[in-house]
């Protein structure tokens, strides 16, 4: 059960991430004229919202598994509440590390996988933001690629 839930959560957040980035690119292609700063702010706000949703998806997965299955537990989580699960997910996703909550038992598979996926998605977003900033900089200052 833990492996299926892990694969489902990972698949969902990766597809979601791809779809949102694709829609941002499509939107920017059609509405890019003269909106460089607004576009960059909007991109960052969308990415922040996207990562928040992805953390909540993993948080909901922890919540469901901890309440419905025998998958171990999280030391330091006093009750299997949704907010505690989302908080734990945020710590894992951002690779802040374990402090006041530590996974025990099979739930560690989801935690370890989420840390890797969170790192991948955050770096994907950083690369995307870099590309958007590069395009904005070229448009605003007329600089081509490779010019110093």
Burial, 65: exposed, middle or buried (Cβ in 10 Å; 0-12, 13-18, 19+)? buried
Cα 11 from Cα 59, distance rounded (Å): 15
Full-model pTM: 0.89
Sequential DSSP letters for 80-101: --HHHHHHHHHHHHTT---SS-
Provide the mean pLDDT of the chain. 90
131: left (phi over 0), alpha (psi -120 to 50) or beta: alpha
Cα 23 from Cα 26, distance rounded (Å): 5
pLDDT tens profile 91-121: 999 999 878 999 999 999 999 999 999 999 9
CATH number of 2-22+37-138: 1.10.287.70
Angle formed by the axes of helices 36-68 and 82-93, nearest 10°: 120
For residues 122-135, give the mean pLDDT.
93
For residues 51-65, give the mean pLDDT.
98
Give the start-to-end residue ranges of the domains of the chain.
Answer: 2-22+37-138
pLDDT band at 10 (very low <50, low <70, confident <90, very high): very high
- Picking from 54, 64, 57, 88, the residue whose alpha carbon sits closest to that of residue 1 is 64
């Amino acid at each position: 059960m833990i492996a299926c839930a892990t694969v489902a959560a990972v698949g969902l957040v990766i597809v979601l991430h791809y779809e949102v980035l694709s829609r941002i690119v499509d939107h920017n292609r059609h509405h890019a004229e003269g909106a460089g700063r607004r576009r960059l702010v909007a991109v960052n706000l969308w990415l922040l919202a996207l990562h928040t949703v992805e953390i909540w998806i993993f948080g909901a997965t922890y919540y469901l598994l901890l309440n419905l299955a025998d998958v171990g537990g999280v030391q330091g989580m006093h009750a299997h509440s949704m907010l505690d699960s989302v908080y734990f997910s945020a710590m894992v996703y951002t690779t802040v590390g374990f402090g006041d909550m530590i996974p025990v038992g099979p739930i560690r598979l989801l935690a370890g996988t989420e840390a890797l996926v969170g790192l991948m998605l955050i770096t994907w977003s950083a690369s995307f933001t870099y590309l958007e900033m590069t395009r904005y900089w070229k448009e605003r200052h007329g600089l081509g690629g490779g010019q110093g």
